[in-house]
Structure 1
Amino acid sequence: MDISLFQNSSSGRLVRATGGYWAFVPNPLPPKLEWNDALVSLISRADIAVGTLSGLGENLPNPHLLIYPFIRKEAVLSSRIEGTQSSLSDLLLFETTKVERQRDVREVQNYVKAMEYGLKRLEELPLSLRFIRELHGILMEGVRGEHATPGEFRLSQNWIGPPGCTLDEATFVPPPVPEMLECLDHLEKFLHTRSDLPFLVQLALIHYQFETIHPFLDGNGRIGRLLITLFLCQKGILTRPLLYLSAFFEHHRQEYYELLGKVSQRGYWQEWIEFFLRAVAEQSGDAVSRSRRLLDLHHAYMQLSREKKLSPTARQLIDIIFMRPLLSAKAAAEFLKVSFPGAQKALNALEEKGILIESTGRKRDKAYAAREILDILEKETFE
């Protein structure tokens, strides 16, 4: 790590670790912030965008129509930042048939499990170090990196840099273990202490702090992104978990890492917070747009089901495919609580109307895809 880049930082300090190497230790939150018109305007824009999304989520006739697919889309994109190749279709196919088209699909599924666990856990436990360790244990269970003490903060030094680099060649070295534990204690206090800062600004600070502390040997990025949605739900900023920032971070990956680095090196908080607020505003708008398209499509399908006098089971299945837009007859039977032949009949009815297409080409163990739904979900945010 080039220590000359960090020597004049106002956001933390360099420490010499027992092994003789240098590491960076961030100061406790919150930093001293300077407010200007640009920042205040961005806060307002982000607040309005999140409010629009939250209002949409609150008025959904069935919120699970959007929650299920949006969580899975985020799982794919957040995991992709870490190098996985699985698509949303790969994940959905694995969930319904256990067929692995990509070896890393289990990592993506673990992200879904961690998010769903976290949302339920919020009902009884606020965000805390214990909460974060529990999320990590689920995220890393049985996948690449599982040797990296799932559910436990690191007991050794880690570092960030090009693949295969050594500690001496690292771009950034997070706090050594003793300082890391102290930083985590301060972060937990900040999570639990009432602040006059706008919630979205608090969240930008928390995200920087967690990524800089880097408390796990693996999975830090994914946990940091999970915490964004969980914080928004805990604070009541979102009524439903519909906002995810991974698409923005991935598209602006270089800027994302550079700005995190500039906070550590030069104390450039304003630039980082502005970037984060832009992400919130743009991704809120994207989520609203996709949600409305999905709801319009749902209305069109239900209208078609009435016009064509489809069976009650087939109409029920329309709701199911918005939550699981790729499924088998066995999975449909479980969701609908009907017999296998009854589920197959409903699938055939939707296939006949062009709502579903068979996606495996097999005679047995078929899977059916709701292509129009998947197209809305999988469309790239930035083209």
Structure 2
Amino acid sequence: MDTALFKKSPSGRLVKASGGYWAFVPNNLPPRLEWDDALVSLMSNADIALGTLSGLGETLPNPHLLIYPFIRREAVLSSRIEGTQSSLSDLLLFEATEIEKRGDVREVQNYVRAMENGLKRLSELPLSLRFIREMHGILMEGVRGEHATPGEFRQSQNWIGSSGASLNEATFVPPPVPDMQECLNQLEKFLHAGNKLPPLVEAALVHYQFETIHPFLDGNGRIGRLLVTMLLCQRNVLSKPLLYLSAFFEQHRQDYYDLLMKVSSTGAWRQWIEFFLKAVIEQSGDAVSRSRRLQELHRDYTQLAREKRLPPTALQLVELVLMKPVLSTNTAQEFLKITYPGAQKAIKALQEAGILTEITGRKRDKAYAANAVLKALDGETSPEEKSTR
């Protein structure tokens, strides 16, 4: 780590660890922030954009219609930032059939499980170190990095750098374990303090602080991004979990990394907060657009089913198709609570109406995709067959 970059940092201090290397320890939150008209205006625009999205979540007759696929899209994009190569359709195919064995798909599914469990636990447990460890335990269960003590804070030094870089070659060295524990304790106090910061600014600060502390041996980036959603939902800024920033962070990945580092080296809080608020504005608008497109598809499919006089089960299945645009006959049977042949008949009706397409080419373990829904969610097409028939 180039210590010269951090010697005069207003955001933290350098410490020499017992191993003789230097590490960076961030100051406690909150930092001193200077507000001007431009930043206040950006904050206002972000609040308006988020309010529009939150209002949409309140008016939806079935919010889960959007929550289910949106969580999965976020899981894919947040994991992609960390190098996991999996698409939304890969994940949905795995969930529909559980035939896909690739480790990276399982990693993304773990992200979904961590997100869903975290959202459920918000009503039972405050945002805390225990809450964070729980999410990490689910995220890292049974996947690459499982050796990295799932659900436990690190007991050894980690570092950030290019692939294969040693500690001495690291770009950044987070706090040594004793300092790390104190930083985490202070972060928890900040989360519980009831500060008067705008929730979006609070989320930006917490995300930076967590990433800088880097308390796990693996999975820090994904947990840090999960924390943003958890915080905004707990602070009641989001009525439903429909805002996810990973698409923006993935698209601007280098800026994302550079600005986090710049806060540590030069105290560039304003630049980081501006970046974060722009992410909120863009992704709120994106979520609203995708939500409206899915609502349009729901109306179109319902009308088409009625015009073609499809059986009632096919009309009911339209609801599932919007939530799970890749599905199997078993999935349809469970949703419709009918016999297996009855589920096959409903799927066939949607195939003939042009809503579903069989995507595996198999004689058994077939899966069906609603490509228009996939495109509305992520601009994707259906997955190619990747396993042996």
Query: What TM-score, normalized by structure 2, do the two folds share?
Result: 0.96
- Take 1:338 and 1:157, find their aligned partners in 2: how far apart are those partners? 55
Q: Helix, strand or coil for the counterpart of 1:24? A: strand
- Take 1:316 and 1:232, find their aligned partners in 2: how far apart are those partners? 33
Q: Helix, strand or coil for the counterpart of 2:93? A: helix
**How many Å apart are 1:379 and its aligned residue?**
2.0
Q: Helix, strand or coil for the counterpart of 2:168? A: helix
**How many Å apart are 1:103 and its aligned residue?**
3.4
Residue type of the alignment partner of 2:100:
E
Residue type of the alignment partner of 2:191:
L
- Take 1:142 and 1:300, find their aligned partners in 2: how far apart are those partners? 41
Residue type of the alignment partner of 2:71:
I
Please give the per-residue CA displacement for 1:310-358, whole angstroms capped at 9, x wherever unaligned. 2221111000011111011011101211111111000000000000000
- Take 2:317 and 2:88, find their aligned partners in 1: how far apart are those partners? 20
On the 8 A contact 2:103/2:144 being kept in 1, the answer is: no
Residue type of the alignment partner of 1:232:
L
Q: Tell me whether 1:110 sits opposite 2:110 in the alignment.
A: yes
- Take 1:7 and 1:83, find their aligned partners in 2: how far apart are those partners? 31
| Correspondences of 1:122-271 after superposition (within 5 Å) | 122-271=122-271
On the 8 A contact 1:203/1:231 being kept in 2, the answer is: yes
| Correspondences of 1:94-105 after superposition (within 5 Å) | 94-100=94-100, 102-105=102-105
- Take 1:170 and 1:132, find their aligned partners in 2: how far apart are those partners? 26
Residue type of the alignment partner of 2:277:
L
| Correspondences of 1:1-383 after superposition (within 5 Å) | 1-100=1-100, 102-379=102-379
- Take 1:156 and 1:365, find their aligned partners in 2: how far apart are those partners? 45
Structure 2 gap segments, 5+ residues each: 381-389
Residue type of the alignment partner of 2:265:
Q
| Total equivalences in the alignment | 380
On the 8 A contact 1:69/1:324 being kept in 2, the answer is: yes
**How many Å apart are 1:285 and its aligned residue?**
0.4
Query: What TM-score, normalized by structure 1, do the two folds share?
Result: 0.98
- Take 1:43 and 1:101, find their aligned partners in 2: how far apart are those partners? 44
Runs of 4+ with deviation above 3 angstroms: none
On the 8 A contact 2:329/2:343 being kept in 1, the answer is: yes
Q: Helix, strand or coil for the counterpart of 1:104? A: helix
Please give the per-residue CA displacement for 1:100-120, whole angstroms capped at 9, x wherever unaligned. 174310000000000000010
On the 8 A contact 1:26/1:209 being kept in 2, the answer is: yes
- Take 1:290 and 1:101, find their aligned partners in 2: how far apart are those partners? 30
**How many Å apart are 1:365 and its aligned residue?**
1.5
- Take 1:9 and 1:85, find their aligned partners in 2: how far apart are those partners? 36
Q: What CA RMSD, in Å, does the superposition of the two structures yield over aligned residues?
A: 0.9
**How many Å apart are 1:71 and its aligned residue?**
0.5
Please give the per-residue CA displacement for 1:121-156, whole angstroms capped at 9, x wherever unaligned. 111111100000000000000000000000000000
- Take 2:30 and 2:260, find their aligned partners in 1: how far apart are those partners? 16
Please give the per-residue CA displacement for 1:53-96, whole angstroms capped at 9, x wherever unaligned. 00001110111110100000011101111111111111011001
On the 8 A contact 1:160/1:173 being kept in 2, the answer is: yes
Structure 1 gap segments, 5+ residues each: none
Residue type of the alignment partner of 1:144:
R
Residue type of the alignment partner of 1:222:
R
- Take 1:379 and 1:129, find their aligned partners in 2: how far apart are those partners? 37
Please give the per-residue CA displacement for 1:192-219, whole angstroms capped at 9, x wherever unaligned. 1111211101110000000000000000
- Take 1:115 and 1:85, find their aligned partners in 2: how far apart are those partners? 19
Identity %: 74
Please give the per-residue CA displacement for 1:6-44, whole angstroms capped at 9, x wherever unaligned. 011111000000000000000000000011122111100
Please give the per-residue CA displacement for 1:159-191, whole angstroms capped at 9, x wherever unaligned. 000000000000000000000000000000110
On the 8 A contact 1:73/1:88 being kept in 2, the answer is: yes
- Take 2:335 and 2:147, find their aligned partners in 1: how far apart are those partners? 35
On the 8 A contact 1:25/1:175 being kept in 2, the answer is: yes
On the 8 A contact 1:85/1:102 being kept in 2, the answer is: no
Q: Helix, strand or coil for the counterpart of 2:103? A: coil
- Take 1:168 and 1:61, find their aligned partners in 2: how far apart are those partners? 56
- Take 1:172 and 1:250, find their aligned partners in 2: how far apart are those partners? 20
Residue type of the alignment partner of 1:94:
F
- Take 2:336 and 2:124, find their aligned partners in 1: how far apart are those partners? 30
- Take 2:198 and 2:232, find their aligned partners in 1: how far apart are those partners? 12
On the 8 A contact 1:90/1:101 being kept in 2, the answer is: no
On the 8 A contact 2:110/2:138 being kept in 1, the answer is: yes
Q: Helix, strand or coil for the counterpart of 1:23? A: strand
- Take 1:102 and 1:322, find their aligned partners in 2: how far apart are those partners? 25
* 2:387 equivalent in structure 1: none
- Take 2:361 and 2:112, find their aligned partners in 1: how far apart are those partners? 28
- Take 2:101 and 2:154, find their aligned partners in 1: how far apart are those partners? 32
